Structure 1
Amino acid sequence: MKPYQQIQITECGEPLVEIPLEKFAVESPHPYQLLGAPYQGRSPYHLRQGVLNRLLQAQTYLQQSHPQWRIQIFDAYRPIAVQRFMVDYAFSLVLQAEGLTVEQLSPDRQQALWQQVYQIWAIPSTDPKTPPPHSTGAAVDITLVDAAGMTVNMGSPIDEMSARSQPDYFANSADPVEQEYHERRQLLQDIMLKAEFTRHPGEWWHFSFGDQMWAWLSDRPVAQYGGIV
């Protein structure tokens, strides 16, 4: 169990709503749909209403300093079936990188590889007390798009399982390009914090409002969004 999962959830009942895609930049088709994730014909672009409202506010804050820039939504609400699919996919990538098969793994080695996966991916738990953040409709993975419509380089791709995913990875770099990566990550954080989100400690792209992680990071005793089946 991760520390934030000890936070109590008092579900507020706020609806999950479809994101108006014309207001943001998005990848189409959705990256996980391309991999075969089981969305069962539903749009992958949903959030809780209050989370969506704050995301729109964050984009307004962004455009105050960077006119015509937009937030690009990479991922939002994630059904448990999709969470399970992506966790298994991430594990297969780790195996591939190691040049191994499951049959070659000792129990200890297999456990170590799963721990590597769970540094980025939440366990696809069906326990209502420990929902994956994205399965609450309160978490969103995002980056930025510039005025020319180009995705801004943040120094590492979303979902990368490496130290570069750490938000402050480039903070102390003397390389001017890497300092620019850090400044862009800071810009993303600044607009999202202003809209009352919190950022995942280990992922520059992951922000949430109202879920257990948000409550834990903002020192609140209760989360308002639980898992949605």
Structure 2
Amino acid sequence: MSNSILVKPYQKIPIEENGEPLVPIPLSLFAVESPHPYQKLGADYQGKSPYYIRQGVLQALKKAQTELQQQYPGWKIQIFDAYRPVAVQQFMVDYTFATVLQQKGLKETELSPQQQQDIWQQVYQIWAIPSHNPSTPPPHSTGAALDITLVNEKGNTIDMGGEIDELSDRSHPNYYAKSTIAQEQSYHHNRELLHTVMRGAGFRRHPGEWWHFSLGDQMWAWLYNQEQPKQTIIAYYGRV
């Protein structure tokens, strides 16, 4: 990784850890991607479960699903990923870098410094830097971030017009916002439904990823402060 990749703006938000525990997500209440997508690739959680989040985050997630089901009975939030140790973050960053190389037909030993830099920039559009510095934790390592989508009453995944973790412009939440094509309008509607129920429960959405929501971490505080510059807040969940 090049040192010229800068700290992201949200990582400058101070953290005052409140000590709230990680708790298991009651998987019977939600839909779940199983087996876990990163474990399937070989990520080692070292005995910890990816299906854990902070207690307050779980309460808010339940509230979001209740709101969803009032509008669409039988629908559920599907948990793709939640708690992620820094070691797993590193594994997925390295995996993604290797995947991009393969897609481009390149070998790491033959890359120019500029090519290497360009690929890392692409990787870090989606992935947070796997920092061990307690003042700049990757969001998922705090237990405050979730990657999610929706399933309907039949258990079928709702089409959002892009895959979770996709390295493309389609990952931007508003990618389809101005489309006049009916199918693409439905993708935008589905993304907005997910956003609305999560935001109503207190979450904030990653500005570049339709699937990523957090509550209480640095990104959440940073996004809140963009909306309410006169009422600045700080993060209360750090790395666990």
| TM-score between both structures, scaled by the size of structure 2 | 0.94
Deviations 1:114-168 (A, max 9, x none): 0110000000000000000000000000000001100111000000000000000
Distance 2:177 2:40 in 1: 33
Q: Is residue 46 from structure 1 mapped to residue 58 from structure 2 by the alignment?
A: no
Contact 1:46 1:76 in 2 (8 A): yes
Aligned counterparts of 1:40 and 1:226: Cα–Cα separation in 2: 20
Contact 1:9 / 1:223 at 8 angstroms: preserved in 2?
Answer: yes
Residue pair 2:203, 2:214 contacting (<8 A) in 1 also: yes
Partner of 1:20: 26
Alignment partner of 1:201 out of 190, 207, 220: 207
Residue in 1 that maps onto 2:229: none
What is the 5 A alignment of 1:120-135? 120-135=126-141
Match of residue 178 from structure 2:
172
Deviates more, 1:214-223 or 1:170-179: 214-223
Count, aligned residues: 228
The amino acid of 1:215's aligned partner reads A
Give 1:185's match in structure 2, choosing from 186, 191, 196. 191
Q: Following the alignment from structure 2 to structure 1, what is the Cα–Cα distance between the partners of residues 83 and 54?
A: 8
Q: Structure 1: 5+ residue runs without aligned partners? A: none
1:223 equivalenced with 2:235 (yes/no) = yes
Equivalent residues in 2 for 1:9-158, closer than 5 Å: 9-158=15-164
Cα distance, 1:109 vs structure 2: 1.1
% identity of equivalent residues: 65
How does the TM-score come out when normalised to structure 1? 0.98
Contact 2:128 2:138 in 1 (8 A): yes
Q: Which whole-Å CA distance do the structure 2 matches of 1:166 and 1:187 have between them? A: 15
1:221 to partner: Cα distance = 3.1
Residue aligning to 1:214: 220
Return the alpha-carbon distance in structure 1 between the equivalents of residues 218 and 48 of structure 2.
25
Shift >3 Å, 4+ stretches: none
Aligned to 1:143, what secondary structure does the other structure show?
Answer: strand
Equivalent-residue separation in structure 1 for 2:129 and 2:48 (angstroms)? 22
- Structure 1 position 41, deviation (Å): 3.1
The Cα shift of 1:86 comes to 0.4
The code of the aligned residue for 1:31 comes to: P
- Indicate if the aligned counterparts of 1:8 and 1:221 stay in contact, CA closer than 8 A: no
Which has the higher mean CA deviation after the structures are superposed, 98-107 or 160-169? 98-107
Name the SS of the counterpart of 1:202 in structure 2.
coil
